[in-house]
Amino acid sequence: MTILGIETSCDETAAAVCKDGEVQSSLVSSHIIHKHFGGVVPELASREHERLLNTIVQEAVSKAGIALDTLDGIAVTQGPGLAGTLLTGSCFAKGLAQGLAIPIIGVNHLEAHIYANFLADPTLEYPFVCLLVSGGHTQLWQVKELGEYRLLGDTRDDAAGEAFDKGARILGLGYPGGPEIETCATTGNENAVEFPKAFLHTDSIEFSFSGLKTSLLYKMKSEDRSKTDGLSKSDIAASYQKAIIDALISKCVLAVQETKVKTLVIAGGVAANQQLRETVKMQLPECRILYPDLPFCTDNAAMISFLGEKYLVKGNSTQLDFPVFPNLTLA
């Protein structure tokens, strides 16, 4: 099957074509307009999607070397995400599907992030554990098969990506914060500052990053300034990054112990972090560790078309009047 994927859950307008499980083209346009604001402005994001969608879809189809009327179906992100941006993408997709008289399927963005790991290695076998770490989610899942997922642990407050983004803002770095902190941290000493790591020594699989962010804020402001005096921004960024990674990995270890599953995959934008990738491998030497190629860690439409095809092949499709679900979950 040849499936067009469309992704507009946040500030990336993306289109891709997947054919029989293989990516034929994948284009992502990140909205630089939000950089001026240090975060995504929903209304601007919807307008940017509206402006970009037609061109990016045409380019994805042409790069795949096919004609629009040879598509067998369209997969579009149905949620979670920003209501306005989801609507922009889904309305575009609905119009196109109706015009071409082909089926459409609404795809769960979180599930698609997990399935991006099959793009890295199509031989990935169930069951596996997935650390899902994006801008809005930090969860551990046991993936039993397509559509069968067990939540092992979640965050009580901020997501790991959010901790990177908010930390970067406090440090005066740019947006998105993950890559900014990662780059800044490369020359720093990760043991320079002791940051709080919630639940590190407990047996429960849960995360919390809001205390970490507050601790950074205090250390950078007058309250606790003495603790960071004389340290470079790189030292602080490296220590902050280490605190996030240590918290994530300690719970991956617990999840692997609890499930006795020997494959761990990482999904979502934070999976792009090299330090996270390397530390997971060191801490879980007995496990098979997998993560998507860099372009498929952060938001993209290849994962949407790939997962959409999996469902369309099974005969699943969505009624044309489907709503979007900004708070869609996986379970």
What residues line the site for ligand KG4 (CB under 6 A)?
Answer: 10, 113, 134-136, 161, 164-165, 176-179, 182, 268-270, 272-273, 298-299
The nearest distance, CB 174 to ligand KG4, in angstroms, is 10
**Other C-beta atoms lying within 10 Å of the C-beta of residue 163:** 30
Nearer to ligand KG4, 89 or 177 (CB): 177
The nearest distance, CB 7 to ligand KG4, in angstroms, is 10
**Other C-beta atoms lying within 10 Å of the C-beta of residue 226:** 9
109-120 helix and 302-313 helix, angle to the nearest 10 degrees: 100
The nearest distance, CB 231 to ligand KG4, in angstroms, is 21
Nearer to Zn ion, 211 or 326 (CB): 326
The nearest distance, CB 135 to ligand KG4, in angstroms, is 3
What residues line the site for Zn ion (CB under 5 A)? Answer: 134, 299
Cβ 330 vs Cβ 149: under 8 Å: yes
CA–CA gap between residue 129 and residue 291 (Å, rounded)? 12
**Helix ranges (DSSP H) in the chain:** 42-63, 83-100, 109-120, 160-170, 177-185, 210-220, 233-259, 274-283, 302-313
Nearer to Zn ion, 161 or 188 (CB): 161
The token pair that represents 167 in the structure block: 């930390």
103 binds, among ligand KG4, Zn ion, none (CB under 5 to 8 A by kind): none
Nearer to Zn ion, 52 or 303 (CB): 303
Nearer to ligand KG4, 88 or 298 (CB): 298
270 binds, among ligand KG4, Zn ion, none (CB under 5 to 8 A by kind): ligand KG4
Cβ 28 vs Cβ 299: under 8 Å: yes
166 binds, among ligand KG4, Zn ion, none (CB under 5 to 8 A by kind): none
CA–CA gap between residue 191 and residue 136 (Å, rounded)? 27
